[in-house]
Amino acid sequence: MDPDRNFNELATRFRNTIYATARGRLRLAALTQDFADLNVLTPDARVLDIGGGQGQFCLALAQQGAQIHLCDISQEMLQIANEQFAENRLPLHSAHCALQDVDNAFPGNFDIVLNHAVLEWLENPLDALPILAQKVRPDGWLSLMFYNLHGHVWRQLMNGGLNDPLGANPKLRKHGNAPQHPLDPEILQRELEKLGFEILRWRGIRCIHDHMPQKVRERVGPEALADADLAYGLKEPYRQLGRYVHFLARKRH
């Protein structure tokens, strides 16, 4: 059995190669647009970022007045998050713990719970959903982003992986950052509805970018590509091809 993934040794690489790239900027732009469209953030909102890593997105929420609580299994990731908040002179309540132990670190529930790009690294992803659900107050929000099964399969097929479309990209596997468990959005939607949530935003992230040849991306330019990706990421059937899916789900009373 594979253990839940810890990114201690990849913290610097993530900082330099993921969040500083067009892919990372597109991810953050999509999350920002979704939060703005649905007016998720309220003044002084209590936000819990579970598996928050370096805290890029919740830092932006803190700059808008949110009270941020962040936990991660990687001590190195937490150190970077604390440094970034300190540089911006913003408070951060951080804890070094796994998702399964979050209630001990941060008791009670929150206005907004973030869980971004975490589930696909867990040995049993669906087991995490009740833990996330209990941390959201009634009428509160769950922001769930996960590695999309359909986008993964399509990308593998386009790269010639006809015999093993569910397999990991060899380059990603070599560097240890191939997600272990791509997830089916329909299954997650059903499970969240059972837990009392209503999905109010379903977005595919990088539904165009990751499937477009590099030379074509260079020709159309980053701004036009980002605009198209953000627009088509909200439309069926194109959103199904996003490398990631973002759900904004509201908890019923």
In terms of Cα–Cα distance, which of 103, 41, 43, 45 is closest to 71? 103
Please report, for the chain, the start and end positions of each structural domain, with discontinuous segments joined by +. 8-251
Q: Per-residue pLDDT tens for 39-69?
A: 999 999 999 999 999 999 999 999 999 999 9
Select the CATH number that applies to the domain covering 8-251 from these four: 3.60.21.10, 3.40.50.720, 3.40.50.150, 3.40.50.1820.
3.40.50.150
Q: How far apart are CA 4 and CA 128, in angstroms?
A: 12
Q: How far apart are CA 74 and CA 217, in angstroms?
A: 34
Q: Per-residue pLDDT tens for 198-219?
A: 999 999 999 999 999 999 999 9
User: The pTM is what?
Assistant: 0.91
